[in-house]
Structure 1
Amino acid sequence: METLEFYRSFNADKSIEELQYNISKAISKLENLELELDFYSDLLEKPIYKSQMLNLFERLSAFQKEVTTLEENRSQLLKDLKSHSILLKNKIKCQDLACDHFFIKAHDTMELRVVNYQNSLSDFKFKLLTYLKSVLKN
């Protein structure tokens, strides 16, 4: 039986430098992902598919819409992560416990959004690649 994975935060014990490092890695991944999403979009428009496939145009259009949604979500998440990174720099100036709790909660929220985005991206890739394998010309 497979265990379900749920997001758990371990950020309360991390230093500001470690949180900033994790955010910078997430930002870098999201910036690089733009090229990958552009590639999927281009791939879906190429005439490389078997003819006479049932609902081919509709399926490719649906995947294209998913790419557009993923790109919009990526862009917004990237903006929010950059803003959060600036907030983390301000945490260094803050020394009380209530302030720590606020920043850790904000970081957990951002981290969960990144995890959810990565999960939706992985699901999309699995569906797309599985479908493309069946409809690409030999």
Structure 2
Amino acid sequence: MKTSDSMALPSEKKRIEELHRDSLNWISELDFIKDEIRFFKKLLRSYSFEPTTPNLFEKLQLFRQQMQEVLNRNMEDLDLVRKHENHLSGMQECDQLECDQAYLLEHDRLGEEIVGHLKKFKKLKKNIFEYTEGILKASRNK
């Protein structure tokens, strides 16, 4: 049965709202990562670090490279989620169960990808925090 948003069955409308909410949450998380990376880049370029710190240059370069990789992936994922969100309206127009199932499978796959990306970024943030905290504490104790 083909339904419009205003004629959607209550359970179908709820499911569509949940999918929409998921997509908007993913977009919000991915947008925030861009801001966090901007902060980390400024932090790692700051003069807060002692040039005498062993392997400082190499470690900072590694963090910068990892952040750029995360940012690139982040932009790709953001584009995918936005396209996915746009297809949600098409799913409302679809009158076949297969269309719904295909979208739901894609939604689940994309959700797993986003969760993996967020975990990877959180691990990178933790590594940066631990590294910079140690350097800043050492410079404060001098």
With the shorter chain as reference, the TM-score category is 0.7 to 0.9
Aligned: 1:22 with 2:18: no
Aligned: 1:55 with 2:55: yes
TM-score by length of 1: 0.86
Letter of the aligned partner of 1:89 in structure 2?
S
Per-residue CA distance 1:21-78 (angstroms, 9 max, x = gap): 1101111221122111101011111111134211110000000111111111111110
Q: Which residue of 1 aligns with 2:110?
A: 110
Runs of 4+ in 1 over 4 A off after TM superposition: none
Q: Aligned partners of 2:51, 2:41: CA distance in 1, in Å?
A: 20
TM-score by length of 2: 0.83
How does 1:22-101 map onto structure 2 within 5 Å? 22-101=22-101
- Using the TM superposition, name which of 47-56 and 98-107 deviates more: 47-56
**Unaligned residue ranges in structure 2 (runs of 5+):** 1-13
Structure 1 residue 16, shift from structure 2 partner: 1.0
- Using the TM superposition, name which of 100-109 and 29-38 deviates more: 29-38
Per-residue CA distance 1:101-120 (angstroms, 9 max, x = gap): 10111101110111011110
Greater helix fraction, Structure 1 or Structure 2: 2
Larger C-alpha radius of gyration, 1 or 2? 2
SS in 2 for 1:103: helix
- Number of aligned pairs? 125
Letter of the aligned partner of 2:64 in structure 1?
Q
Cα RMSD between the aligned structures? 1.2
